[in-house]
Amino acid sequence: MLLHRYPVSTAANGVGEKSGSYCTPRGKHSIRAKIGASQPLNTVFVRRRPTGEIYTPELGAQYPGRDWILTRILWLSGSEVGFNRLGACDTMRRYIYIHGTPDSTKLGQPGSKGCVRMRNADLVELFDLVPVDTEVYIGM
26-37 pLDDT, tens digit per residue, is: 999 999 999 999
**Can you tell me the distance from the alpha carbon of 130 to that of 140, in angstroms, rounded to the nearest whole number?**
22
Tell me the domain boundaries of the chain.
8-138
Give this prediction's pTM.
0.95
H or E segment to which residue 124 belongs: helix 120-129
Q: CA-CA distances (angstroms) from residue 61 to 19, 58, 69, 127, 139? A: 30, 5, 15, 28, 33
What is the mean pLDDT of the segment spanning 14-36?
Answer: 97
CA angle 107, 50, 19 (to 5 degrees): 60
Class of domain 8-138: mainly beta
